[in-house]
Structure formats: structure tokens, C-alpha cells
Amino acid sequence: MKTIANEYKEYITERIRLGDNGIKLTAYSFENGYQARVIENLDSNFVSLVLVKSHDGKSSIKDILLKLTNEQL
């Protein structure tokens, strides 16, 4: 499948992992330091938060995956 990530893979780092609940999470990192997260299962109440910390030019990524009720959404 032709995607933007495949077309520009020399500029984009892609990481895929499964969350504790089995939801596939894809993270894209770009040369300019920006990052994007994709949740593959969009029909659920799960929300992915990505915390990025930069310290002395180094960044660390913390993933938080939350399951929200319909009232919280």
C-alpha cells in the first residue's frame, strides 16, 4: 500500500507496538523533532497520549493509553 510514511521513509522513523489491551499503536518521528501517533482501532474508547520531554538535546517519549467511558468522551 502506498502511504506517505512509505514514500518518505528516509525522513520518517516508524515504530509499531501493541498496547496492553491489544490495540496497535504506530508512532512516527520526524527529523525536525515532531512526532505523530496513530491509533489503529478508532471505534473504541481508548485515547493515546504522548508525552515528549527534551533535556540537553535528548528527547524521551512516554506513552499513556487511557480507556474512557462514554461520559468522559
d(CA 66, CA 31): 28
Q: In angstroms, rounded to a whole number, what is the distance separating the alpha carbons of residues 32 and 63?
A: 20
pLDDT digit string, tens, across residues 19-44: 777 777 788 887 777 777 766 555 66
pLDDT (tens digit per residue) in 42-55: 566 766 666 565 55
Closest listed residue to residue 63, CA positions, set 43, 42, 30, 35: 35
Is the distance from CB of 24 to CB of 16 less than 8 angstroms?
Answer: yes
- Are the beta carbons of 51 and 44 closer than 8 angstroms? no
Query: Rounded to 5 degrees, what are φ and ψ at 4?
Result: -60, -40
